[in-house]
Structure 1
Amino acid sequence: MSFGARPRAVLASLATLGLALAAATSPASAADGAPTTPTQLFNGHRHCSTDANRPSYQGTGGGLVVEGIPGITDTTDNPRVGVRYQAWPVTDPTRITTVTRDRVPPGFEAPATLPASALADGQTYAWQAQTVVGDAVSDWSAPCYVTTDKTRPANAPTITSPNYPPDEWNKGGEPVEFTLSADGVDDVEGFEFSWQQNLPVIGTSMGDHGIPQPVDPYSDTKYFKHADALGGSATLSLVPPAGSGPKTLWVRSLDRAYNGSAIASYTFGVSSATPTVTPAVPKPEFGEPTEFTFRPDPELQAKSPIVSYSVRTNGLQNDRTFEVAAGADGTATVDLALDGIYGGNLQVHSKSANGWVSDATWWSISYDTTPTVASDAYPENGSVGGAGVPGTFRFTPKVKDVVSYTYTFNNGDPEVTVPVDAHHAASIDWTPASDGSYDLTVYATTRSGIQLAPYDYFFTVK
């Protein structure tokens, strides 16, 4: 939400544009059109208020940027125009402060800064603008009214919750009800809050021609809430971030100029509550579709019905995250084929109607998908045979639907793939050219193209 760098960049680019165009334009061309009253008036990148009874409140510790778009009746000769700003305390209209912005292109905002030294804290000022073209000037704009506020709220807000006591563990399952109070600061307009300690920065983006695009921060209800009255309080109903553990809400008060107080915090604990995950059979077979049933934590279901489950698969051929709708009793079923060559796991969260997200339940399974390798002539880990002595090696599967085996001796030889027989097994004949240690690596491939886990079969030829 921070746009602080953008206005400066826009102002810098406008200044550069003004200098470049000024170098190419003769001063005489500025007198070719009549000046008109500036439009698009802003102060502190917020809308100008022309109602003396409802001034704009501004933090003016670094002065106050006032701006408007100067007007001229004829722009065919690309003239340069200026804007003159005058400001005065409404209690003393004779104390006028004047600032100007010279030689700017028509149609662009022409900002200038009223110095902080001319703006007393807590005072209301009026300001107005006129276009200057050579010796000619436009009419003054209608006055804009600003009340200066250089002082942030003296006290941090107070935070209370009736259903999640501070520094205690709570079951969870329902939103946290908070009451935020101004703690006696009478000019607090509202509050800013977040589950992150770094609260968003209030800023304004800049549109075409340098025109500010102010947005009421209180329209963002994720982070801001108006007090029920100036200096009053506000109530929140918030679902904390998913998962159990300590939770902290960070809050500061805001006055009408958006000056922020010190930040207060409220910490409480949420204990774990997870759904149960049950397969239709205790140990699902590799790659076989199996029905899984998800059941809610009873206390969560009682507080707000479970409406869905978020499921994340890990270790399978095509891992994904998906949602499963729950029935009226909070349960749900889904068919899953677990095809991870070493196994896999499910991570399952329940989601309540009120937005609560539970801790995750982890359900996992492991598989041995390596083939079985056997040889009478060259038994595993044995030291037999000899150079030129043939041997037969038989490969058999541990899982269903195997269609081929791929093998290599000593990992450096080319891989060879052989099809399976009617029993999904295969045999190869091999004769060693020399004695020494050998590593026969074999893996199977399924009909769906899954390359299963490899098996290393070690033996020694005498």
Structure 2
Amino acid sequence: MSFGARSRAVLASLGTLGLALAAAASPASAAAATPTTPTQLFNGYRNCSTDADRPTYLGAREGLVVEGIPGTTDSSGNSPVTVRYQVWPVADPTHTTTVTRDRVFPGSEAPGTLPAEALADGQTYAWRAQTVAGGAASDWSAPCHVTIDNTRPANAPTLSSPNYPPDDWNQGGEPVRFTLGANGVDDVTGFEFSWQQDLPVIGTSIGDHGVPQPVDPYADARYFTRADAPGGSATLSLVPPTGAGVMTLWVRSLDRAFNGSAITSYTFRVGSTAPTVTPAVASPEFGEPATFTLRPDAALQSTSPVVSYSVQTIGGQSDKAFDVTAAADGTAEVKLALDGIYGEHLRVTSESANGWVSDSASWGIGYDTTPTVASDAYPENGSSGGVGVPGSFTFTPKVKGVVSYTYSFNGDPEVTVAAGADHTASLDWTPQSDGFHDLTVYATTRSGIRLAPYDYFFTVN
């Protein structure tokens, strides 16, 4: 079993705290306390099993961490004590190994490590804990029973799917059924799986007073499933993370100690199940309400009816994502005002009653919202006029609702002029120097949208 950095950090900090406080305590106070039997016993950060017929299976390649909370009759809990751990093979109770954890404080877990050389692979052991204080010792705890398993499953699991064969493009819409097998390893008790090659790490969080919080990994059905018997198999029904394309599921076997086998994988292909997105008007106008009809993929609808759509807008003034409920026939309507000054796109996925999420359909339109600029005296990209020769420039919109124009010559401070009733505007300008000039102008709509800028270049003689 692997443990995260947080767990190790908590245990380390508790050990450091115990040593620091112990240095300040007096031997006399320790002698006054009567030790009591340790409680909250754990091994390998998993629960102690006091049932000799049901030992906990654990790996111990680098030793085995055992722990318990020592106690004394001193209610202040300020006197340091020693915790003694003793382990022996069940087959030979006379062959004991003892480990002590000195100068720890009652009320918090006191971990110790049983040495790896005292724990043979495949053997069952019993261990117990005792509190020692001021020369007195508590009763021993009831023994905990563990079987050492340092050997990972020899074979990677078998993995197949009856409804999504690996060699063809499959019609999507139905959850993928997988069969996982132990591949001849008789102590496999379950499997770990993921759509990502890096499988989750099995860990244990640490609670108050350093007490481990063991969780059965098989309780997390997103990544773990039990075998139907030791060395047996399991079945899964999974919806892929994306609706189409090449998919791979990664799987490894787990034995009773959660040793993992080599990882195997199953790759298959799923054809598109994307919906269609159809605007009521082929080319909706900028800023005007537009209605879209969303229709499900026909084969997907026949497999499991579409119940909703997720819609995402891209490129507008305030992009958004929202869900729309589908009608009984799987269709839905969406009304949007498209206000992306360079254009806007929709991305739509459907979700079926069985949880299948399709790949996305895309619809988009481009807009040119720059104003048209015209000048008889200084034509665009031309060379004319001269220093002191005035010219008139006229701005004309390409979209509806324009109320003003903002312009700047050669990077000078911007100036805004109101649009007339026909939504155009004109200005007079006299050059103060010859050579290349740049007029930048953009329009603003009634709703306050600043439209795309346009650069108008010309040369003064």
Instruction: Please indicate the TM-score interval, normalised by the length of the shorter structure.
Output: over 0.9
> 1:124 is matched with which residue?
124
> 1:71 is matched with which residue?
71
Name the amino acid aligned to 2:212. Answer: P
> 1:430 is matched with which residue?
429
Does the CA contact (< 8 Å) of 1:45 and 1:212 recur in 2?
A: yes
Deviation at 1:433, TM superposition (A): 3.3
Name the amino acid aligned to 2:275. Answer: P
Deviation at 1:378, TM superposition (A): 2.9
Cα separation, partners in 2 of 1:427 and 1:120, compared to 1, 3 Å = same
Deviation at 1:315, TM superposition (A): 1.3
> 2:389 is matched with which residue?
389
Measured in 1, the distance between the counterparts of 2:4 and 2:373 equals 68
> 1:276 is matched with which residue?
276
For residues 287-315 of structure 1, give each alpha carbon's deviation from its aligned partner in whole angstroms, at most 9, with x where no partner exists: 00110111111111111111111112111
Does the CA contact (< 8 Å) of 2:77 and 2:105 recur in 1?
A: no
Cα separation, partners in 2 of 1:76 and 1:363, compared to 1, 3 Å = closer
Deviation at 1:258, TM superposition (A): 0.5
User: Are 1:112 and 2:112 an aligned pair?
Assistant: yes
User: Are 1:455 and 2:449 an aligned pair?
Assistant: no
Deviation at 1:149, TM superposition (A): 1.0
Which has the larger displacement, 445-454 or 283-292? Answer: 445-454
Cα separation, partners in 2 of 1:419 and 1:61, compared to 1, 3 Å = same
Does the CA contact (< 8 Å) of 1:307 and 1:351 recur in 2?
A: yes
For residues 125-181 of structure 1, give each alpha carbon's deviation from its aligned partner in whole angstroms, at most 9, with x where no partner exists: 111111111221111111111111111111111011100112332121111000111
> 1:186 is matched with which residue?
186
Deviation at 1:388, TM superposition (A): 3.1
Aligned length: 461
Measured in 2, the distance between the counterparts of 1:459 and 1:90 equals 97
For residues 28-53 of structure 1, give each alpha carbon's deviation from its aligned partner in whole angstroms, at most 9, with x where no partner exists: 22111111111000111111111111
Aligned-residue Cα RMSD (Å) equals 1.6
Deviation at 1:75, TM superposition (A): 4.1
> 1:156 is matched with which residue?
156
Deviation at 1:412, TM superposition (A): 2.3
Name the amino acid aligned to 2:160. Answer: T
Does the CA contact (< 8 Å) of 2:254 and 2:260 recur in 1?
A: yes
Measured in 1, the distance between the counterparts of 2:210 and 2:376 equals 86
Deviation at 1:12, TM superposition (A): 2.2
Task: Tell me the SS of whatever aligns to 2:12.
Answer: helix
Measured in 2, the distance between the counterparts of 1:62 and 1:388 equals 90
Does the CA contact (< 8 Å) of 1:127 and 1:144 recur in 2?
A: yes
> 2:342 is matched with which residue?
342
> 1:257 is matched with which residue?
257
Deviation at 1:2, TM superposition (A): 6.2
Which has the larger displacement, 282-291 or 146-155? Answer: 146-155
Measured in 1, the distance between the counterparts of 2:102 and 2:429 equals 94
Does the CA contact (< 8 Å) of 1:242 and 1:356 recur in 2?
A: no
> 1:39 is matched with which residue?
39
Task: Tell me the SS of whatever aligns to 2:147.
Answer: strand
Measured in 1, the distance between the counterparts of 2:138 and 2:77 equals 19
Task: Tell me the SS of whatever aligns to 1:141.
Answer: coil
> 2:242 is matched with which residue?
242
Aligned counterparts, 1:395-410, within 5 A: 395-409=395-409
For residues 374-409 of structure 1, give each alpha carbon's deviation from its aligned partner in whole angstroms, at most 9, with x where no partner exists: 223333333333333333222221111100011222
Task: Tell me the SS of whatever aligns to 2:313.
Answer: strand
Q: How many percent of aligned residue pairs carry the same amino acid?
A: 76
Cα separation, partners in 2 of 1:115 and 1:461, compared to 1, 3 Å = closer
Task: Tell me the SS of whatever aligns to 1:354.
Answer: coil
Task: Tell me the SS of whatever aligns to 1:11.
Answer: helix
Cα separation, partners in 2 of 1:396 and 1:136, compared to 1, 3 Å = same
Cα separation, partners in 2 of 1:58 and 1:435, compared to 1, 3 Å = closer
Task: Tell me the SS of whatever aligns to 2:13.
Answer: helix
Does the CA contact (< 8 Å) of 2:243 and 2:356 recur in 1?
A: no
Mark the runs of 5 or more structure 1 residues left unpaired by the alignment: none
Deviation at 1:249, TM superposition (A): 0.8
Task: Tell me the SS of whatever aligns to 1:16.
Answer: helix
Name the amino acid aligned to 2:154. Answer: A
> 1:165 is matched with which residue?
165
Task: Tell me the SS of whatever aligns to 2:221.
Answer: coil
Task: Tell me the SS of whatever aligns to 2:253.
Answer: strand
Which has the larger displacement, 33-42 or 77-86? Answer: 77-86
Deviation at 1:460, TM superposition (A): 3.1
Cα separation, partners in 2 of 1:21 and 1:380, compared to 1, 3 Å = closer
Cα separation, partners in 2 of 1:90 and 1:45, compared to 1, 3 Å = same
For residues 269-327 of structure 1, give each alpha carbon's deviation from its aligned partner in whole angstroms, at most 9, with x where no partner exists: 11223211111101100000110111111111111111111112111111122212111
Measured in 2, the distance between the counterparts of 1:250 and 1:67 equals 35
TM-score by length of 2: 0.96
Task: Tell me the SS of whatever aligns to 1:307.
Answer: strand
Measured in 2, the distance between the counterparts of 1:178 and 1:405 equals 63
For residues 237-281 of structure 1, give each alpha carbon's deviation from its aligned partner in whole angstroms, at most 9, with x where no partner exists: 011111422111111111111011111111111122321111110
Deviation at 1:121, TM superposition (A): 1.8
Measured in 2, the distance between the counterparts of 1:438 and 1:66 equals 81
Measured in 2, the distance between the counterparts of 1:103 and 1:453 equals 73
Task: Tell me the SS of whatever aligns to 1:17.
Answer: helix
Task: Tell me the SS of whatever aligns to 1:440.
Answer: strand
Name the amino acid aligned to 1:168. Answer: D
> 2:420 is matched with which residue?
421
Aligned counterparts, 1:177-216, within 5 A: 177-216=177-216
Name the amino acid aligned to 2:20. Answer: A
Cα separation, partners in 2 of 1:437 and 1:263, compared to 1, 3 Å = closer
Name the amino acid aligned to 2:74. Answer: D
Measured in 1, the distance between the counterparts of 2:448 and 2:249 equals 51
Name the amino acid aligned to 1:330. Answer: G
Which has the larger displacement, 146-155 or 85-94? Answer: 85-94
TM-score by length of 1: 0.96
Deviation at 1:434, TM superposition (A): 4.1
Which has the larger displacement, 430-439 or 128-137? Answer: 430-439
Task: Tell me the SS of whatever aligns to 1:30.
Answer: helix
Task: Tell me the SS of whatever aligns to 2:156.
Answer: coil
Name the amino acid aligned to 1:441. Answer: T
Task: Tell me the SS of whatever aligns to 1:395.
Answer: strand
